[in-house]
Amino acid sequence: MTSLPVSLAIPSPPTSNYSHTTGSSRRLSQTITDIVSVATPTDRSRSSSSPPSPIKVEQGPNKLSISFDGGSQIIVRPNRIVRGVVTLNNIKPIHATQIRIRFRAEEVATAKVREYGLDTKIERIDQVVTTHFDASTKVWGTEPSAYLMTPWEVIEPGEHQFPFALKFPNVNFPPSSDDPVGFYIHYIWSAHVDGPSFNPGIRSKEYIMPYRPIICAPPNKEWTYSQTTYNDRRVPIAQVSAVMPRPAFCPDETVNMFLQVDCIPTDLIVSSVNYTLNKCTIGQLQLQRGLARRTKSRKILQGSLAVSGNAGAVKIPVNFHIPTRLVSPSFQSRHLSVYYELAFDILFTNHGVLLKSTTYGSECTIPIGITNLPHNHMLHIPSLTSVQSYLQSKESPIFFDPFLDEPPNQSTIPSELWGPLTAALTTPPITSPPNYFSLSDLPPQFIQKDREEKVMFTSRLIRPGMAPELGDPITVVSESKDYEW
């Protein structure tokens, strides 16, 4: 490996040990606690496993890649530190000004709508890309300046590694999502080699890393949901009540509830009951003509309940285990809304006429909340009660020296004083003559930067049938101008 003049050194490889406990709720809390806790230098390791979810990008003979501590199993959460290495393999010399690591969050809403003209109908694709944050730092080279062109150096052939470390703020952003079609939220890593004097450089693949906010369930309190079901002729046939032990549940937990069905016609009995846990996703985009909306419902689990003999009234115990796969917390963002519902398909039979029976079907839907932390485990997570929403907080992920356990503490200095303090540190003394080439260089990790959210809108016309990956054209609700949920 060829040595380079780097500004950050590679930490020594370590091992990490996580404690495991039994019990689904305790195991869930222990997992989140281990995730948000900061590892000591002797507990850090460099994993050689493949990084998470790479997106293929064409590259030349020189290759740039990123590897993360924890490999493909890593999940970003509030207050978590992510470490890794940027690796450059070049077979010939490269002229470069710096090598950067970049981490950004994008929420994309894409709608294919149909326009009607005088002679023909034309489809249009509208897209809004919201960048919630875009953080980057150099791992090699010279820090760019507003008044001085950045010099460049030659990187000799070989394999070169540059470590990095990033801490995610104690802020809840929307979780990663890929539903419905055309709508997604991704947290993306990439590495860049900047060429000399703004010449083209090298860019790595994009690495999509899953993100999960920490959302705690409300206090345990039994509640009852009641609903009247109807047949096809809109005639009421039953009163259905569901007794839930608490409002919200976590993945890897068991739901124990009761379903009470009371038939309204006296000649009906309950013959069978099936249930389905659905994950419902709504994506919406505000256009000039109205609101374009696309929905998707995904079955998480389903089953049937044993129904004993009854005379039109039955109380059935319902027990099922919530899986961890495909289950993320309920949330709402700018363009996406994710919620869960428990649907019961109830079948009634009429035995009033001799040797003849009539079957009626009805469905009852019950809202159910999904979080990722039980309420009684709130105290197990450090700084949980100080978590902020991204809608109010201006904090952004921050890169820092990988030699450090965590970024330098800035909480003791109010944010409104960072501007005057930075100016004082970078301004020469009053007694000195002005010299623009002798300003002190403040390390970027000590400068407080507010998060800036960027929104980009694009639109293009296409022929009918193009872009099949976006599905059928969306019908625009022309009367709806209300963008909020």
Q: Output DSSP code: residue 408.
A: P
- Domain co-membership, 168 together with 246: no
Q: What is the pLDDT of residue 355?
A: 52
Residue 431 placed within a domain: no
Q: What tokens were used for 142?
A: 């010279």
- Domain co-membership, 290 together with 196: no
Could you tell me the CA-to-CA distances from 283 to 178, 182, 338 in Å, in that order?
10, 8, 9
- Domain co-membership, 99 together with 189: yes
Could you tell me the CA-to-CA distances from 101 to 52, 56, 164, 190, 205 in Å, in that order?
16, 18, 8, 6, 12
The residue-averaged pLDDT of 81-103 equals 93
User: pLDDT tens, 336-369?
Assistant: 999 999 999 988 888 655 556 677 778 889 999 9
Using alpha carbons, select from 99, 167, 179 the residue that is nearest to residue 133.
167
Burial class (CB in 10 A: 0-12, 13-18, 19+), 143: middle
Which residues span the domain enclosing 50?
A: 24-215+391-424+450-470
d(CA 117, CA 120): 5
d(CA 261, CA 287): 44
Residue 484 placed within a domain: no
- Domain co-membership, 255 together with 284: yes
- Domain co-membership, 100 together with 175: yes
Q: Residue 14's pLDDT band (boundaries 50, 70, 90)?
A: very low
Least confident of 79-88, 125-134, 203-212, 457-466: 457-466
d(CA 178, CA 6): 38
In the chain, how many domains are there?
A: 2
Of 11 and 204, the structure prediction assigns the larger pLDDT to 204
Of 52 and 178, the structure prediction assigns the larger pLDDT to 178
Q: What tokens were used for 286?
A: 């505000």
d(CA 425, CA 192): 30
| Residue 182 reports pLDDT greater than 80 | yes
Residue 153 placed within a domain: yes
User: pLDDT tens, 367-413?
Assistant: 999 999 998 888 888 888 889 999 999 999 999 999 998 888 755 44
Residue 443 placed within a domain: no
| Residue 36 reports pLDDT greater than 90 | no
pTM of the entire predicted model: 0.77
- Domain co-membership, 46 together with 189: yes
Residue 432 placed within a domain: no
Q: What is the pLDDT of residue 416?
A: 47
Residue 168 placed within a domain: yes
- Domain co-membership, 288 together with 161: no
| Residue 49 reports pLDDT greater than 90 | no
| Residue 128 reports pLDDT greater than 90 | yes
d(CA 307, CA 309): 7
CB neighbour list of residue 19: distance below 8 Å, 6 or more residues apart: 30, 34
Residue 167 placed within a domain: yes
R_g over Cα of the chain: 28
Q: Residue 197's pLDDT band (boundaries 50, 70, 90)?
A: confident
* Boundary residue ending a domain (340, 372, 404): 372
- 3-class SS at 297? strand
- Domain co-membership, 406 together with 354: no
- Domain co-membership, 146 together with 195: yes
- Domain co-membership, 417 together with 281: no
| Residue 189 reports pLDDT greater than 90 | yes
d(CA 405, CA 346): 57
Q: What is the pLDDT of residue 436?
A: 47
- Domain co-membership, 339 together with 413: no
SS (H, E, C) 147-197: CCCCCCEEECCEEEEEEEEEECCCEECCCCECCCCCEEEEEEEEEEEECHH
Of 23 and 322, the structure prediction assigns the larger pLDDT to 322
- Domain co-membership, 154 together with 243: no
Find the CATH number of the domain harbouring 357.
2.60.40.640
| Residue 33 reports pLDDT greater than 70 | no
* Boundary residue ending a domain (372, 404, 435): 372
Residue 92 placed within a domain: yes
The residue-averaged pLDDT of 57-63 equals 63
